[in-house]
Structure 1
Amino acid sequence: MRREKGFTLIELLVVIIILGLLAALVVPKITGRVDEAKVETTKVQLKAIKDALEQYKLDNGMYPTTQQGLKALVEKPTTPPIPPRWRQYLDKLPKDAWDNDYIYISPAPNKPYELKSAGPDRTEGTEDDISVWNN
C-alpha cells in the first residue's frame, strides 16, 4: 500500500478551530490597546497645543479668537485682533488620532478657551470627547 503524505480534512478543521479560538481571545485585547493608545496620543497633542496657546498669550496678551482658530499658532492672523508680538508657535497643526481637526473656542464658558477632540466616535458633544481641561 502506498500512503500519501499530507493532512486529512479533520486535521485541517481542528487547526482552523484552534486558530479561531486563539484569535477570539487575542484580537479584542489588541484592539483595546490600540484605542487606548489613540486616546493617550490625543491627550499628549492637546497638552502641546495648550502649551503653545499659553505661550501665544504670554507674547500677545490674549488667546487667539475662535475666528482666528488654532491656525493662529502656525501663521500670523490677518483678522483682528492682530497679535503685536506674533511668532510661529507650532510647525503645523496636528490632527487627533482619528484624523479630525481639534475643536477650539475662545472665549469659552467658565474658561479662557475650550480645546478638545471629538474622540473615537468623531461626534462633538458626546461622552467620549477629550478635553484639554480633563487631562
Structure 2
Amino acid sequence: MNMSNKQTGFTLIEMMIVVAIMAIMSAMLAPTLFNQVSKAEKARTASDIRQIESALKFYRLDNYRYPTQSQGLQALIAAPSGSEATSWNGPYLETVPKDAWKQDYRYANPGTHGKPVEVYTLGADNTQGGTDSNADWGSWNVNE
C-alpha cells in the first residue's frame, strides 16, 4: 500500500508574492487613473462655463446688459424682477449646472480678470487658490 500524503495548493509565501506584485501594479496605475479623472473634471468645467457664458451673451443681446451681481446666474432661468430686464426672452438655460464637485458656479459682475463678467468655480476644495483639482477655474482660464 502506497499512500501519498502530498497536498496541492499555494504556499503562504507564494500568496504574499502575488499580493505584493498586485500592490506594485496598483501603485503604478493609480496616478494615471487619477490624472484621467482630473482631466475629465476640467473638461466638464470648461464645457459648463462656456455654456453659461453663451447664455449670458444671449441675455445681454436681449437686455442690452448682463445680469447684475445680485441677480446672478438665476437671471438666466427666471426673469428678474424690476425694470432692469424688460426685454427678458428666456429662459436662457434650463438649469444652472453644478460644477464637477457638486458646488454652484459663481458669477462676478464686473469681472476681475479683464472680462466684463466672469463665471467660475473654486474647485474641489471650494476655497480660493489651490492647484490641480483644487484650482480656481473660470472664464479667464478654461482654455489652459
With the length of structure 2 as denominator, give the TM-score of the two structures.
0.85
Q: Is the 8 A contact 2:59 2:76 kept in 1?
A: yes
2:94 maps to 1:91: yes
Which runs of no fewer than 5 residues in structure 1 stay unpaired? none
CA displacement at 1:126 relative to structure 2:
4.5
What's the CA shift for 1:55?
0.6
1:113: Cα distance to partner? 1.0
Amino acid of the structure 2 residue aligned with 1:73: L
Instruction: Say if 2:12 is the partner of 1:5.
Output: no
Q: Distance in 2 between matches of 1:75 and 1:124?
A: 29
What TM-score do the two structures reach when normalised by structure 1?
0.91
Map 1:44-123 to 2 at 5 A: 44-79=47-82, 81-109=84-112, 110-123=114-127
8 Å CA contact 1:68, 1:79 repeated in 2: no
Partner of 1:19: 22
Q: Distance in 2 between matches of 1:12 and 1:125?
A: 46
Deviation at 1:125, TM superposition (A): 4.5
The ranges of structure 1 where at least 4 consecutive aligned residues each deviate by more than 4 angstroms after the TM superposition are none
CA drift at 1:76 = 1.2
Q: Which residue of 2 aligns with 1:124?
A: 128
Aligned length: 135
Give me the whole-angstrom Cα distance separating, in 1, the residues matched to 2:94 and 2:30: 37
Q: By how many angstroms is 1:121 displaced?
A: 2.8
- Whether contact under 8 Å (2:110, 2:118) holds in the other structure is yes
Q: Distance in 2 between matches of 1:34 and 1:104?
A: 25
Q: Which has the larger radius of gyration?
A: 2
Note the residue ranges of structure 2 that are not aligned, 5 or more in a row: none
The residue identity in structure 2 corresponding to 1:27 is: A
